[in-house]
Amino acid sequence: MRLVEESKGFEPKYIIITGDGRRELNVLKGLTKVYNGDDIVLYFPFTPLFRKTGKKALDSIKTIPEKFGISSIIYIVDGDTFIDSFINEIQDYLRSIGIDIEDVNLIQKALFIKCKSGNHKITLYCIVSGPQTFIEEEIAQLINLKLGVEIDLSGTRDSTWRNRVKNDINQVLKEKGIEKLEFLIETTGKSKLEASFPNICAILKKIEEDFQ
């Protein structure tokens, strides 16, 4: 698989939307090098269209098929976006913005939704990071499995906690001489990656299988 931030010169089959920062980009840069399918191009743009956060990032799926000619969309969102059931809340939000839901399935704890926006049929993959709070929880799991270092995830999950966890992860990578997170990921076996990022890996596996 290939992950690109600019679509010029490529024909991406999938587009990624997230309102929660660039860490997901770093994770996906590593993971896409692990999964097969050289012709599978995932487009991860950072433009004003995609800078809404939380569930509001889903607003862009109403314009993506027309603007980019892409109907397969990967939506990545932090776990703390949801109050109760992400399964219900995502569907409720889609309906509230005029999206018709035709079919919903779970892959691990990721949602695979067939839906429509106007005349456009859309395949939507919904990945909840953390899954409790944010993707750094999963990165911490990878560091534990790969490097044998445990990141302390205890405490009240507020902004101070988030910053501490991020800083602890960065400090461990620095101490281990790892300049880029994606290098750690691409040099880790699939079993550890799937244990660390089960929902993202489940979706990438499905994309890989569907493309064959």
- pLDDT tens digit sequence for 137-155: 999 999 999 999 999 999 9
Q: Can you read off the two tokens belonging to residue 142?
A: 């990878």
In a domain, 177, yes or no: no
Report the pLDDT value the prediction gives residue 194, as an integer from 0 to 100: 96
Contact yes or no for 15/68 (Cβ under 8 A):
yes
pLDDT exceeds cutoff 80 at 207: yes
CA distance 125 to 156: 30
- Whether 105 maps to a domain, the answer reads yes
The dihedral built from the CA positions of residue 62, 64, 67 and 72, taken in this order, carries a sign that is negative
Residue 179 lies in a domain: no
**Has residue 40 been placed in a domain?**
yes
- Domain assignment present for residue 86? The answer is yes
Q: Which stretch of 40-54, 99-113, 165-179, 182-196 has the lowest confidence by average pLDDT?
A: 40-54
Mark residue 9 as left, alpha or beta (left: phi above 0; alpha: psi -120 to 50; beta: remaining). Answer: left
- Contact, 49 vs 19, CB < 8 A? no
Specify if 137 maps to a domain: no
Which residue segment(s) compose the domain that 92 sits in?
2-132+190-211
Task: Establish if 167 belongs to a structural domain.
Answer: no
**What pTM value is reported for the model?**
0.93
Per-residue confidence (pLDDT) for residue 22, from 0 to 100: 76
**Which H or E run contains 200?**
helix 198-211
Percent of the chain with pLDDT over 90: 80
Instruction: Please state the domain count of the chain.
Output: 1
The answer to whether residue 93 is domain-embedded is yes
**Measured distance CA(180)–CA(185) in Å, rounded:** 9
